[in-house]
Amino acid sequence: MSEVKDFASPVRPTWCPGCGNFGILNALKRALANLDLEPHQALLVSGIGCGSKLPDYITASGFMGIHGRVLPIATGAKLANHELKVIAVHGDGDGYGIGGNHFLHTMRRNMGLVDIIQNNQVYGLTKGQYSPTSERGFVTKTSPEGAIELAVNPIALALAAGATFISRGFAGELPHLAQLIAQAIEHRGYALVDVLQPCVIFNRVNTYDWFRARVYKLEEEEGYDPSNREAAWEKACEWGDRIPIGLFYQVEGLPTYEDQLPALRAGSLVKQGLRPLTLEEVEALKQEFV
């Protein structure tokens, strides 16, 4: 049986006291332990940003890449070894801004990845600029008169792109978030966990208190059915006095991208190993050109 402490890292986080990332880190450890996974069975892939330092703060396999390219790196790892639980962890700037193109394509492929987005609606590590999920009017150093763009709606985007598991958590609701992450890991196919994550330094609008007054859990909504796409769409568009968290949408039983690759029928590429070509194969290759 694995335990939360198995995932403890000797490295102390550089996050600010009160940062929402602590909640996400703890929820992730708890989810991994609850699923009885061991540190070597998970590969955490992150990008650049405060939250992307997470793999350094947990004992599990980790790859911290470059800004915005988390999903293709995670995809490559999954395609080469689909036995690994590959979990992407990155911020809203990384995932929905610079990595937006990869976000769309990874979803429509139904890649077997968990995609945890630490969504604090601001750029923290670069010290306070507006992000793709900043609300209109949000004042930062790069939007001194207030942001004039519409905020990205990740839940609606995910629905439109064909994601098969779409959820939102709140860093201030640890057990609920841990449960969501565990469900996402168990889901076969792409699983989005957008996490509302207060930045205590640069986002003085969307604070813990602001969220606590607004969030409610979809699973406590009477009659809410996460297999109903239309209902999910309605909830995806809800943002204001009430903000839904939990599982918006899930469709099960669809093939993942990796399920459909002929090369992987004999096991993962890594497990198949490297072997010299047989004489017949060599002859066949040559004969193609004769």
Partner 1 sequence: MIKNDMTFKIGGEAGQGVESSGAGFAQALARGGLHIFGLQDYMSRIRGGHNFYQIRVKEEDIYSHTDAVHLLLALNPQAIKEHIEEVVEGGGIIYDESWQGEKRELEGRGIVPFPAPLKRIAEEEGGRKVMMNTAALGVAAGLTGYNFEPMASVIEDNFRKKGTSVVERNLKVAEAGYRFAQENHDRFDYRLEAIEAPERMVINGNHAFCLGAVASGCRFVSAYPMTPATSIMEWMAAHVQRYGIVMKHTEDEIAAICMAIGAAHVGARAMTATSGGGFSLMVEALGLAGMTETPLVVVEAQRPGPSTGLATRTEQGDLRFILHASQGEFPRLILAPGTVEECFQAGARAFNLAEKYQCPVIVVLDNFLANSLRAVDKEAFDFASVEIDRGELLTSEDLDRLESRYNRFQFTESGISPRAVSSHPKAVYVSTGNVHDEEGHITEEPTIRTKMMNKKMRKLEVARREMREPELYGPKEADITLLGWGSTYGPIREAVKALNKEGRKVNFIHFMDIWPLPWEKVAEMMEGAQQTVAVENNYSGHMAGLIRTYTGREVDKRILKYDGRPFSPDYIIAHLEVK
Residues of this chain that interact with partner 1 (CB under 8 A) are: 11, 38-41, 43, 45, 48, 53, 55-56, 59-66, 69, 71-81, 83-84, 101-102, 104-105, 261-264, 266, 269-270, 272, 274-277, 281-282, 284-286, 289-290
Q: How far is the CB of 95 from partner 1 (least distance, A)?
A: 14
Task: List residues bridging with 246 in a β-sheet.
Answer: 168
Which residue is it, tokens 């070894």? Answer: 81
Q: How far is the CB of 101 from partner 1 (least distance, A)?
A: 6
Concatenated DSSP letters of 147-209: --SPPP-HHHHHHHHT-SEEEEEETT-HHHHHHHHHHHHHSSS-EEEEEE---TTT-SSS-HH
- By C-beta, is 62 or 154 nearer to partner 1? 62
- By C-beta, is 46 or 121 nearer to partner 1? 46
Which residue in 210, 173, 162, 224 sits closest to 195, CA to CA? 173
- By C-beta, is 162 or 239 nearer to partner 1? 162
Which residue in 188, 223, 233 sits closest to 85, CA to CA? 188
Q: How far is the CB of 189 from partner 1 (least distance, A)?
A: 17
Q: How far is the CB of 13 from partner 1 (least distance, A)?
A: 11
Q: How many helices (H) and strands (E) does the chain have?
A: 10, 10
- By C-beta, is 80 or 251 nearer to partner 1? 80
